[in-house]
Amino acid sequence: MTAPDLADWRTYDAPTLPRVLDAALERFAEQGYHGTSIRDLAAEAGLSVPGVYHHYKSKQEILLALMMAVMDELLERSAAALADAPDDPSAQFDALVESLLRFHMFRRRQAFVGSSEIRSLVPENRQRYVERRDEQQRMLDRVVLAGAASGVFGTPYPTDAARAVASLCVGVASWYREDGPLTPDELVARHLVLARGLVQA
């Protein structure tokens, strides 16, 4: 995947994935991993079956590469949002929550495949993916714990609150539509109120 312009982590252009991974995103989102064959992926990518195998050894390797590419972008955007925010828990919390919300608005299909197809990863690959996913949660945990320790956040349950905030952001991918009643900025503003409430900001 082409690295996003981290100078503006709020901006989302069309994702640029390698041809086979782009095909996998389309087919896995529509048909699911188990409902998609290598022949399906080859047809979607405009390649022969041997052409797909030239790049990836198996369909499982394709799934892992796709999910890791999506997670890489999420982590890069989150890190950029934190780096862009003032060095205090409240500002960093807002920036990180906003980044998570925007990702799950503008990368809905990627988020859907990532959440629904984790069950299709073999144990070794699932462990690798979960380790990367947990990096994202730890970013949020650290900010909320720092806010609770400094008295900026009043929650007595900072790690539970951080998980609840993450779930709030991830859930946006299941219902957000670009032609819906809220603009992205309006949705971010509304959900920041909800997220701040969870940590008792």
**What is the C-alpha separation between 182 and 187, in angstroms, rounded?**
6
| 8 Å CB contact between 106 and 147 | no
The pLDDT of residue 25 is: 97
How large is the average pLDDT for residues 151-155?
A: 98
The two three-digit tokens of residue 163, written as one number: 């998980």
* pLDDT tens digits for range 3-40: 444 568 999 998 889 999 999 999 999 999 999 999 99
pLDDT of 1 strictly over 50: no
Structure tokens at 175: 């219902």
Average pLDDT over residues 71-85: 96
At residue 3, the pLDDT reads 44
Residue 2 reports pLDDT greater than 80: no
Task: Say if residue 183's pLDDT is above 50.
Answer: yes
- Tell me the per-residue pLDDT of 46-63, one tens digit each, with 9 for 90 and over: 999 999 999 999 999 999
**pLDDT value for 4:** 45
Cα→Cα distances 30→22, 48, 107, 116, Å:
13, 21, 15, 12
Give every CB contact of residue 89 below 8 A, 6+ residues apart in sequence: 143, 144, 146, 147, 150, 152, 153
First to last CA, the chain: 36
Work out the average pLDDT over 148-172: 97
Tell me what the pLDDT averaged over the chain comes to.
95
Residues 184-195, mean pLDDT to the nearest whole number: 97
| Mean pLDDT value of segment 64-84 | 97
